[in-house]
């Protein structure tokens, strides 16, 4: 009996998904629990396991938005059943039928324009003198050019069109190079990042802060929290708590630009940029402004663990109002991050480095940390961003009031 492959519901709020790619080709044998397709929700991609064993018939092609529980493919029990399903009028594959029917491998770009119905081997090519001269000057094989002139004659326009296509086609990899096919996640990341740069008026603001006290308080609180909860608090945990407190003082940072107006969001839902081998994901800690350091640390550990195992749901990846991206573990002193749409700002946190600074007229060595704000200037004016950064600096350098509540 045939088994339907449906768009899965991966979270309470998920109503639809988009197929990024089929991992199996049309007519290919698929085993149960084998990865059969990659789908995209609001921000991330997920690998979907096959619900059964059988021969795959693809109904919905990539790049088509599909409601949850809709049938996107069918697994036939045997070849006879597969032939009946295909011949029985199953819904035709939507956009890009050739690539969908042949599977992801068939979608790779050619390195030269298609020859179409050009001259057969050994057949004399009828070509105009002008077209022949252009082809010779560009070292083109005229047998691969389809003629559109009278009697199939190759004319100037045919050669120029072929030449234009050849120049537009990607170059073949040189010896030693390798071409790695884009994954579904990489395609989503590329699209989201480009959309963010195009849609938002991104501006940047940087500050260097003294991390002496934030390090001291971490050392004081770490044994207590670890004994009580089993997790170690990090500078990132402290920065999320402190940043949320600064946002509460400057709520314009916690807004969204919409076509209807600016949406002001009451609570701070902190996106936590996290790198995987496949790319970047942003799980969310909700109501971080109302949570203790212990709660923040425990959620961070849980989200990181689930993210590495690919177990995060769409509900855990959406709804963020502000994102914090920490790169201190890579030794980076300073970097600028791209806004995680539809948010209006993101904070990049660099590593802590001992540096000589002037304090009370004396040169001393202090642990210094760089923080960089990327903000949407459509909503957040430079002065407002500067006020937020000043408050953030004061809280980092004097964190007692922020971190006093740890339970």
How far, in Å, are 23, 185, 371 from residue 42 at the CA level? 21, 12, 28
C-alpha closest to that of 56 among 102, 25, 87, 15: 25
Q: Which residues touch 59 (CB under 8 Å, ≥6 apart)?
A: 71, 72, 73, 74, 90, 91, 93
Catalytic annotation on 259?
A: no
Three-state secondary structure call for residue 287: coil
* Eight-state DSSP code of residue 268: -
Catalytic annotation on 158?
A: no
**Catalytic residue, candidates 137, 141, 381, 407:** 381
Run of H or E residues at 403: helix 400-403
How far, in Å, are 76, 148, 152, 160, 282 from residue 118 at the CA level? 39, 10, 9, 15, 50
C-alpha closest to that of 290 among 252, 342, 255, 248: 248
**Catalytic residue, candidates 70, 83, 315, 377:** 377
CA dihedral 312, 318, 321, 323 (to 10 degrees): 40
Residue 143's Cβ-count burial label (10 Å; 0-12, 13-18, 19+) is middle
d(CA 247, CA 267): 9
Concatenated DSSP letters for 88-138? TTPPPP-SSHHHHHH-GGGGSPPSS----S-PPTTPPPPB-HHHHHHHHHT
How far, in Å, are 7, 28, 71, 95 from residue 64 at the CA level? 11, 21, 13, 8
Number of H helices, E strands in the chain: 10, 18
Tokens found for residue 95: 């956009």
With contact defined as beta carbons under 8 Å apart, do 342 and 256 qualify?
A: yes
Tokens 């020859």, located at residue: 115
Percent helix, strand, coil in the chain, to 5, is 35, 25, 40
Residue 390: CB atoms within 10 A of its CB come to 13
Which residues participate in catalysis according to the annotation?
377, 381
């Amino acid at each position: 009996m045939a088994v339907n492959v449906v768009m899965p519901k991966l979270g309470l709020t998920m109503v639809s998904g988009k197929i990024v790619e089929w991992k199996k080709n049309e007519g290919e044998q698929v085993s149960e629990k084998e990865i059969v397709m990659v789908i995209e929700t609001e921000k991330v991609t997920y690998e979907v396991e096959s619900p059964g064993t059988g021969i795959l018939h693809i109904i919905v092609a990539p790049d088509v938005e599909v409601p949850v529980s809709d049938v996107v493919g069918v697994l036939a029990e045997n070849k006879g059943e597969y032939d009946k399903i295909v011949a029985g009028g199953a819904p035709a594959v939507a956009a890009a039928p050739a690539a969908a029917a042949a599977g992801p491998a068939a979608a790779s770009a050619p390195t030269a324009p298609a020859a179409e119905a050009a001259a057969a081997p050994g057949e004399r090519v009828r070509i105009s003198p002008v077209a022949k001269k252009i082809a010779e000057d560009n070292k083109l094989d005229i047998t691969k050019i389809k003629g559109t002139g009278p009697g199939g004659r190759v004319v100037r326009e045919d050669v120029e069109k072929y030449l234009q296509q050849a120049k537009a086609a990607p170059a073949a990899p040189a010896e030693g190079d390798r071409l790695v096919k884009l994954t579904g996640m990489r395609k989503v990341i590329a699209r989201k990042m480009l959309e963010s740069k195009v849609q938002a008026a991104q501006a940047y603001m940087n500050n260097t802060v003294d991390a002496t006290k934030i390090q001291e308080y971490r050392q004081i609180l770490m044994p207590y929290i670890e004994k009580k909860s089993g997790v170690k608090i990090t500078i990132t945990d402290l920065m999320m708590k402190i940043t949320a407190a600064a946002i509460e003082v400057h709520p314009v940072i916690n807004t969204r630009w919409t076509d209807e107006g600016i949406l002001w969001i009451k609570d701070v839902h902190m996106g936590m940029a996290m790198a995987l081998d496949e790319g970047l994901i942003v799980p969310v800690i909700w109501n971080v402004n109302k949570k203790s350091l212990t709660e923040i640390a425990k959620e961070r550990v849980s989200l990181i663990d689930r993210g590495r195992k690919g177990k995060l749901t769409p509900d855990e990846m959406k709804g963020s109002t502000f994102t914090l991206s920490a790169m201190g573990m890579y030794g980076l002193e300073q970097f600028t991050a791209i806004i995680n749409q539809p948010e209006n700002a993101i904070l990049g946190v660099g590593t802590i480095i001992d540096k000589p600074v002037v304090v009370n007229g004396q040169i001393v060595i202090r642990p210094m940390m760089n923080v960089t704000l990327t903000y949407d200037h459509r909503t957040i004016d430079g002065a407002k961003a500067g006020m937020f950064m000043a408050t953030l600096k004061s809280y980092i350098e004097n964190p007692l009031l922020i971190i006093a509540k740890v339970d």
